Amino acid sequence: MAKFDKLAVLRKMGETGMVPVFYHKDVEIAKQVVKACYEGGVRAFEFTNRGDFAQDVFAELVKYAAKECPEMALGIGSVVDPATAALYLQLGANFVVGPLFNPEIAKICNRRLVPYTPGCGSVSEVGFAQEVGCDLCKIFPGDVLGPKLVKGLLAPLPWAKLMVTGGVEPTKENLTSWIKAGVYCVGMGSKLFPKEVVASGNWAAITTKCVEALDYINEARK
């Protein structure tokens, strides 16, 4: 069961403005990354359903975060079908993210009052997602669609809450472009977790990256 309700999760995403996206098959490394992000100010973290037994790693992460990162809302990403969504909801996922929009997933999540953030690439897809209760839609892939799509989409749908993922970088220029375009928050993966940093166990570097990125977001919002 989710630790935080839908409104609390969306608030965490919106207030911080950034949701790290990460996967690793080693649960101990995943724990350290979650902890490093938490210490850097992150309060919503997306673990990716990517490798074999990803659900086992996620289950351990939820238990770990409950003790070590009490205000962290852990969610699951790359979910494309309702069965997978149901599995992770049983393991305590606080939100579900997908690369595409599947209305059947919305039904599963709505039943538990858990946010479902589907991947959308057009005004029509965002509109359809909103009709089935998706409060936050993911603009994906961000590096292909660009900030101009976000700005253009918000013109006819000014009430829309959008999270952009794909190609987002922890730089002042990149983050400012998305925030100024009007996104609710950004999802950030590999650029926040360089392979060499994770391999060396330099968790302090990840914390520093998170602090810097959140500072850029706050500055851009002023």
Give dist(CA 58, CA 36) in Å, integer. Answer: 17
Average pLDDT over residues 180-198: 96
pLDDT grade for 174, boundaries at 50, 70 and 90: very high
More reliable by pLDDT, 11 or 167: 11
pLDDT grade for 191, boundaries at 50, 70 and 90: very high
Answer for the pair 28, 198: CB distance below 8 angstroms, yes or no. Answer: no
Answer for the pair 178, 151: CB distance below 8 angstroms, yes or no. Answer: no
pLDDT grade for 2, boundaries at 50, 70 and 90: very high
Average pLDDT over residues 53-61: 98
pTM, full prediction: 0.97
Cα-to-chain-centroid distance, residue 148: 21
Q: What is the pLDDT of residue 75?
A: 98
Measured from the Cβ of residue 67, the count of other Cβ atoms closer than 10 Å reads: 7
DSSP type of residue 73: E
CATH of the domain spanning 6-217:
3.20.20.70
What digits encode the pLDDT tens for the residues 41-56? 999 999 999 989 999 9
Average pLDDT over residues 129-150: 96
Place of tokens 């669609």: 145
Average pLDDT over residues 153-170: 96
pLDDT grade for 167, boundaries at 50, 70 and 90: confident
Extended beta strands in 108-166, E state: 116-117, 119-120, 136-139, 161-165
**Is residue 142 pLDDT above 90, yes or no?**
yes
**Is residue 143 pLDDT above 90, yes or no?**
yes
- The token pair at 22 is 């990460």
**Is residue 160 pLDDT above 90, yes or no?**
yes
